[in-house]
Amino acid sequence: MSHFDPNSLCLPSGSNFINGARVAGIGPEIPVRRPSDGQIYAHLDSAGPAQVDAAVVGAYHAYRHSGWAQAEPRQRMRVMRRWADLLEAHLDELAVLEAVGSTRTIAEARTWDIPYSAECIRFYAEFADKVGGEVAATTPDKLGLTITEPYGVVAAVAPWNLPIVMAVWKLAPAIAAGNAVVLKPSEMTPFSIVRLAELAIQAGLPAGIFNIVQGDGRSVGDGLCRHPQVAKVTFTGSTRTGAAIMTACAETGPKPVTLELGGKSPQLVFDDCPDLDKTAAIVARAITLNAGQVCVAGSRLIVQETVAEQVMALITARFRALNPAPTWDPSSTLSPIINHPQLDRIDGIVRRTVASGATLVTGGGRAAGPQDGSYFQPTILAGLDTATEAIREEIFGPVLTVQSFHDEEEALTLANDTQFGLAAGVHTGDVARALRAVRGLEAGTVWVNRYGRSNDFMLPTGGFKRSGIGKDLGREAYLANLKVKTALVEF
């Protein structure tokens, strides 16, 4: 299914998922809009405080009594493999649910989001019997052991920008490790994940191991993180919200947290790149993928002065070829912005930056699209001071700032002059320079002559500085869902 009619979508009643079944929320109704055309297509029935409590208590009961945590590890693996298979079997259905109310186009949801999520579940299913404790070196008359155990109930708070993918990053390692999960998706993209939960039950996951509570962060998310039976919290989103979650966990625990937060990621382009057109294509995609609404978006181009004009011209041509269209239109190559307030924020930052003296190379305003849709032109801003708002703040839109440098030392200085440290890109034909840059960049992930994640699930992701704590993906994410007990045995 390469396209669909958004008005033909019929959503089942009950948007929360507690103890293995859809449950109608008793909290306030929240209108849910399609960013592609601004239309309200559903009303979200958010969970009330009693339902959040019921979800956590039910998850704890399932953790203790369903047998999931105590199951033979390969049994957990088999259930999760069936779950992944069901995602692929329901590809078209899930892709429509994902695309209709989010910024993900139907083409992207079908070819990447759903298949990627299924493979992520399979990856963590394989961990179920591959990680255990160790025997410690001690005296011959003693046996020293470390034993790994699930935390119990893990609270997960997922963002709106890649709804299923980001939720699965949280769910798959936690569930594979034997935990129960209570997930709060974004109230702007709430529906596709509920179908994912139903498929988990169909695959054989015990009721109560995967629960969903709907609502906004203040009324539902905060109470979930503070619940006394929640043992760990994992979150992807803004640095400000991450700090609030960390505070809640400190006040009601302390509880361990995994936080993937904001980014302002640099892309360094040196003049020895063997193919500048290919490099420009990588740089352009790194800031226009999902209309720049990705935590690792390569939003700062730091380019050697000898090729700066040429690189900007090549990127401009790429930007102008993009087509802003609804997510259900197969011709769409530029996603909408999630809502009008975020569109206004992006527009305001760009306008203030230009008014302060920056050079507007291309773009700079709202893009044509369906009436009431939220689209912004891919934009390049040059001639910027390092203190400029557009350089310092995460914009979360298709806005690329440009700074030029003379030598390698200046490039690294500019790249590291930020409060964030989520990701970075290096483009060069010099292997030694690439390795120096990998060492010198203050970022949790560095890509060389490419930009963006792949299906290499073994590689963890997470930030330095104000970009977060802990890791998603990789072995690290699985271990982060286990606590370690020490045993010393003597007879």
Whether the ω angle into residue 254 lies within 30 degrees of 0, i.e. cis, is yes
**Is 72 among the residues known to form the active site?**
no
The closest alpha carbon to 363, from 423, 279, 291, belongs to: 291
Q: Which long-range contacts (CB under 8 A, 24 or more apart) does 377-382 make?
A: 377/319, 378/284, 378/287, 378/288, 378/319, 378/320, 378/322, 378/334, 379/319, 379/350, 380/301, 380/312, 380/315, 380/316, 380/319, 381/350, 381/353, 381/354, 382/312, 382/358
Q: Which of 260, 273, 394, 442 is catalytic?
A: 260
Residue 138 CA from chain centroid, whole number:
43
In angstroms, the Cα distances linking 433 to 58, 409, 414 are 54, 11, 16
Q: Count Cα neighbours of 434 within 13 Å in the Cβ-side half-sphere.
A: 14
Say if residues 99 and 105 touch (Cβ distance below 8 Å): yes
Regarding beta strands 210-212 and 180-184, do their DSSP bridges make them parallel or antiparallel, or are they unpaired?
A: parallel
Say if residues 416 and 391 touch (Cβ distance below 8 Å): no
| Unique residue bearing structure tokens 């006040």 | 251
Q: Which residues make beta-bridge pairs with 44? A: 30
What SS3 class is residue 148? strand
The closest alpha carbon to 44, from 68, 21, 23, belongs to: 23
Q: How far apart are CA 412 and CA 405, in angstroms?
A: 9
| Unique residue bearing structure tokens 């989001």 | 113
For 464, counting Cβ atoms within 10 Å of its Cβ (0-12 exposed, 13-18 middle, 19+ buried), the class is middle
Residue 308 CA from chain centroid, whole number:
31
Q: How far apart are CA 439 and CA 424, in angstroms?
A: 12
Q: Which of 108, 295, 394, 442 is catalytic?
A: 295
344-369: burial string, b at 16+ Cβ within 10 Å, e else: ebbbebbeebbeeebebbbbbebbeb
Q: How far apart are CA 402 and CA 311, in angstroms?
A: 10
Token representation of residue 86: 């069901």
Known catalytic residues are 260, 295
